[in-house]
Amino acid sequence: MIQISPHAEAALTCTLDERSLYLRRLVLGSVRSAGRGHVGPALSLIEMVRVLYDDVLRIDPKNPGDPDRDRAILSKGHGCLALYALLADRGFFPLSELDGFCGPDSILGGHPEYGMVPGVEASTGALGHGLSIGVGLALAARMRERSYRTFVLLGDGEINEGSVWEAAMGAAKHGLDNLVALIDYNKLQSYGPTDYVLPLEPLADKWRSFGFAVQEVNGHDVGALRTVLKQLPAVAGKPTAIICHTVKGKGLPAAESNADWHHKNKLTDSELEAIRVAVGDF
C-alpha cells in the first residue's frame, strides 16, 4: 500500500501569497494573448521556479553569461510559461515580451530556446534531455574548479524517459553534489494520472537507490522550498533530488488536477472570469 505523502496533502490545501498570484497573472496573461499554452504544467511549477530565481540562484540578469553563475535548466520545457514569467520579472527581458508568446516574431516559443531567450541555458521540449546536460555542466564545474551549481527541473511524466535514469546513474557515479534535480511531482501527466500512465512510486526510493540524496517538500510552500534549497548539497558527495509535491494547475480551481488544462487553447469568457476570481485582474 503506497502512503500518500503529507507534502502532497499540504500542496492541495496551501494558500498562495500575492507574489505567487502575480506570477500566475503573468502566465495566464501570456496564454490569453497567444490563445494557447501549457497551463497546468506551468502553474504547478511556479513556486519552484520562483524560489530558485528569487532566493537561490547566483545570477545577474545584466550578465547572463557570467561564467560563475549558477545554471538552471527547465528540462520539462513545456512548463516554460512559469520560467518566462520569472525571467521577465527578474529583468532578463522586458515584461512586454510575455504578450508575444508564440507569436511569429517572439523570442518566447512554446518551449524555451537557448540563444533566443536571455537566461535560458538549454533548448528543451523533447523530454528526458535536461538531466544529462546538467551532468555535463556539473562535471565541467568540477573539472574547471568552478563553484557554480546546476539545477535541473524535471516533470514527473518526463521521468518516464529512460535517459533520465541513465543520467541519474551518471550523476551518482561522479558524486556530483553540485547537481540538484527538482521533480515537479504533480501526479498528472498529459493523458491522466501518473499512477495510471506509468506508476512512479516508490519515487523517493527510486532516486535514493540511484545514488541521490533525496528530500521531499510541498512544492507550493515557498518557505519550505527556501529551507531545502538553502541547505545544499543535502549530503556531501551525492547529487540531490528534491521531490516537490505539487498540484497541476495550482491556484486555478478549474484547472487543478484536471488533465484537460494540461494544454489550453483559446480561453472562453467564463474561463477568463474564473481566472480573475482566482488570481485577480490580469
Dihedral (Cα; 112, 114, 115, 117), 10-degree rounding: 30
- CA 90 to chain centroid, in Å, comes to 16
- Draw the binding track, 171-190, toward other proteins (x: CB under 8 A; -: no contact): --x-----------------
Taken in order 18, 124, 219, 31, is the CA torsion positive or negative? positive
Residues near 222 by Cβ (< 8 Å), separated by ≥ 6? 17, 20, 47, 50, 51
Q: Looking at beta carbons only, is 16 or 164 nearer to other proteins? A: 164
The residue count for binding other proteins (CB under 8 A) is 30
Q: Looking at beta carbons only, is 144 or 276 nearer to other proteins? A: 144
Eight-state DSSP code of residue 183 = E
| Smallest gap from residue 258 Cβ to other proteins (A) | 30
- Draw the binding track, 120-139, toward other proteins (x: CB under 8 A; -: no contact): -xxx-xx-xxxxxxxxxxxx
Q: Looking at beta carbons only, is 160 or 163 nearer to other proteins? A: 163
| Smallest gap from residue 188 Cβ to other proteins (A) | 25
Which residues inside 70-129 make contact with other proteins, applying CB under 8 A? Answer: 114-115, 121-123, 125-126, 128-129
Q: Tell me the window of 16-24, 82-90, 166-174, 223-231 that interacts with other proteins (CB under 8 A).
A: 166-174
| Smallest gap from residue 119 Cβ to other proteins (A) | 14
| Smallest gap from residue 211 Cβ to other proteins (A) | 13
Looking at the chain, the number of H-run helices and the number of E-run strands are 11, 7
The 3 state secondary structure assigned to 213-254 is EEEEEECCCHHHHHHHHCCCCCCCCCCEEEEEECCCCCCCCC
Interaction between residue 162 and other proteins (CB under 8 A): yes
Nearest to 186 by CA among 30, 44, 24: 44
| Smallest gap from residue 126 Cβ to other proteins (A) | 5
Query: CA–CA separation, 134 vs 70, rounded Å?
Result: 11
Among 33, 106, 163, 258, binds other proteins (CB under 8 A): 163
For 96, counting Cβ atoms within 10 Å of its Cβ (0-12 exposed, 13-18 middle, 19+ buried), the class is: exposed
Which residues inside 137-156 make contact with other proteins, applying CB under 8 A? Answer: 137-141, 143-144
Cell numbers 494557447: residue: 36
Query: CA–CA separation, 280 vs 262, rounded Å?
Result: 21
- Which residues contribute to the site for other proteins (CB under 8 A)? 114-115, 121-123, 125-126, 128-141, 143-144, 162-163, 166-167, 169-170, 173
